[in-house]
């Protein structure tokens, strides 16, 4: 449903994203995860047809996003980081307005608006002006405007930023309830968001893809899977070397480490590292039991998504640091930092992005006087 091939975006001399390739299957929620400045918003804006890529292609439902931006916009619902909302309009009239500009047929509009209101739990707020709603309700209106034309694809850029913990849970549940019927890509820098909401994850760092896959799959592939820390007491008559060898030869065991080799007999602290996707814990216990060992403690450790994320992003950062130490010029880093400083100034942005900035379509092209509305 979403196919991205070697997508790159360069702002002046800053490579915001570089050769990104990934796919999102129908009905799936893909978490697009990366630290601040990794290139998430840039990717979301390109997918939504609001920013041209420098290189590569992105297709939504078979349409190339830049070449067929109108066809793509009909097929996507987009929630930008700061959703453009008309604060003076009531929830219902705003959704009618969006349905009209999204070309929902006149006869279907009432139904579509009612469905979006129901899906986003906005019944009690339908006649309230958006400006009087809390941030959490406004975010729901943002999601309602993204789904009001029943698009097959929904693009959500940091959908829970700025919400309180209760609102975060509500918005996450809402997003989950939309999967299946819709294909969703959700950008976030919040790890639990991905594990709670998404079926698959794409991790980016400094504009490059560092991993994609199912969350479980990534955790076992990248960290070597499960390990067990054991404290055992070995009977004096048993040969420790033989026992060590039996454990080492167990199917599914990758390595045995003696954590406390100085501890001496009979107490030993061991770490058993499993092969990827294997769980040899019960067999380890079986061997120890058969050898007459006393098991004082056994702890199973599985890497968390946090560890995977840190492992991936730190490896990448270390590589960059190493090349810097080797005397290579990191023009990208310098350019990024200066671009970040310039970001706040619209003039500076046009300078750094040259002609590409002018070619960008504003996210709110269909909503005139948007800036005034946002401020109001």
Ligand X SMILES: Nc1ncnc2c1ncn2[C@@H]1O[C@H](COP(=O)(O)OP(=O)(O)OP(=O)(O)O)[C@@H](O)[C@H]1O
Name residues contacting ligand X, limited to 171-200 (CB under 6 A): 189
Q: Decide if residue 40 touches ligand X (CB under 6 A).
A: yes
Least Cβ distance, residue 339 to ligand X (angstroms): 4
Contacts 24+ apart (CB under 8 A), 2-6: 2/30, 2/47, 2/58, 2/59, 2/60, 2/153, 2/183, 2/185, 3/57, 3/58, 3/59, 4/43, 4/47, 4/56, 4/57, 4/58, 4/59, 5/56, 5/57, 5/58, 6/55, 6/56, 6/57
Complex with ligand X: residue 80 or 225, whichever CB lies closer: 80
Residue 132 makes CB contacts below 8 A (sequence gap 6+) with none
Phi, psi (rounded to 5 degrees) for 320? -65, -45
If one asks whether residue 127 binds ligand X (CB under 6 A), the answer comes out as: no
Q: Determine the interface stretch with ligand X among 58-66, 286-294, 334-342, 364-372 (rule: CB under 6 A).
A: 334-342
State which of residues 239, 306, 340, 351 lies at the interface with ligand X (CB under 6 A): 340
User: In the window 87-126, what residues touch ligand X (CB under 6 A)?
Assistant: none
CA dist 163 → 71, 168, 169, 170 (Å): 32, 6, 9, 10
Interface with ligand X (CB under 6 A), residue from 7, 31, 37, 76: 37
Residue 317 within binding range of ligand X, rule CB under 6 A: no
Q: Is the peptide bond before 266 cis (omega within 30 degrees of 0)?
A: yes
Identify any residues that bridge with 240 across adjacent strands, giving them in sequence order: none
Of 11 and 97, which CB lies nearer to ligand X in the complex structure? 11
Token pair 């390109």 is found at: 46
Separation of CA 313 from chain center: 14
| Contact region with ligand X (CB under 6 A), list: 35-43, 72-80, 137-145, 216-224 | 35-43
Selected binder of ligand X within 1, 10, 16, 211 (CB under 6 A): 16
Would you count residue 19 as binding ligand X (CB under 6 A)?
no
Stretch of 92-100, 146-154, 209-217, 337-345 contacting ligand X, by CB under 6 A: 337-345
Partners of residue 30 on adjacent β-strands: 185, 200
Residue 38 sits in the site that holds ligand X (CB under 6 A): yes
42 near ligand X, judged by CB under 6 A: yes
Residues in contact with 362: Cβ distance below 8 Å, sequence separation at least 6, in sequence order? 50, 370
34 binds ligand X (CB under 6 A): yes
What residues are paired with 178 via a beta bridge?
Answer: none
When asked if residue 344 is in the footprint of ligand X (CB under 6 A), the reply is no
Least Å distance, CB 160 to ligand X, is: 13
> Measured between alpha carbons, how far is 142 from 30 in angstroms, rounded to an integer?
19
Residues in contact with ligand X, shown as a per-residue x/- string from 136 to 175 under the rule CB under 6 A: ----------------------------------------
Positions touching ligand X (CB under 6 A) are: 11, 14, 16, 34, 36-42, 189, 336, 339-340, 343, 349, 352-353
């Amino acid at each position: 449903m979403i196919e991205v091939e070697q997508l790159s975006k360069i702002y002046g001399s800053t490579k915001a994203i570089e050769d990104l390739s990934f796919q999102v299957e129908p009905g799936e929620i893909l978490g697009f995860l990366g630290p601040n400045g990794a290139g998430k918003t840039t990717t979301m804006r390109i997918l939504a047809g609001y920013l041209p890529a420098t290189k590569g292609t992105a297709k939504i439902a078979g349409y190339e996003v830049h070449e067929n931006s109108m066809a793509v916009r009909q097929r996507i619902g987009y929630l930008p980081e700061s959703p453009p909302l008309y604060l003076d309009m009531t929830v219902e009239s705003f959704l009618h307005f969006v349905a009209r500009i999204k070309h929902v047929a006149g006869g279907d509009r009432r139904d579509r608006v009612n469905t979006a209101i129901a899906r986003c739990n906005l019944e009690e707020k339908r006649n309230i002006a958006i400006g009087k709603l809390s941030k959490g309700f406004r975010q729901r209106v943002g999601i309602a405007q993204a789904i009001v034309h029943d698009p097959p694809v929904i693009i959500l850029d940091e959908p829970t930023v700025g919400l309180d913990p209760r609102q975060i849970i509500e918005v996450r549940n809402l997003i989950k309830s939309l999967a299946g019927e819709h294909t969703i890509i959700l950008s976030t820098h919040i790890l639990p968001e991905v594990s709670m909401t998404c079926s698959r994850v794409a991790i980016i760092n400094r504009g490059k893809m560092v991993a994609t896959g199912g969350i479980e799959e990534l955790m076992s592939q990248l960290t070597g899977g499960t390990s067990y820390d054991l404290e055992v007491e070995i009977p004096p008559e048993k040969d420790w070397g033989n026992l060590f060898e039996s454990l080492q030869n167990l199917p599914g065991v990758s390595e045995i480490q003696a954590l406390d080799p100085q501890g001496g007999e009979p107490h030993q602290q061991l770490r058993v590292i499993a092969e990827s996707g294997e769980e040899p814990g019960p067999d380890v216990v079986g061997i120890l039991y058969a050898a007459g060992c006393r098991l004082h403690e056994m702890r199973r450790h599985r890497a968390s998504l946090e560890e995977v994320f840190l492992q991936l992003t730190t490896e990448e950062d270390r590589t960059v640091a190493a090349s810097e130490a080797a005397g290579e010029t990191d023009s990208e880093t310098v350019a990024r930092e200066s671009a970040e400083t310039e970001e706040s100034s619209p003039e500076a942005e046009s300078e750094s992005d040259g002609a590409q900035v002018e070619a960008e379509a504003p996210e709110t092209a269909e909503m005139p006087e948007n800036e005034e509305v946002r401020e109001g």
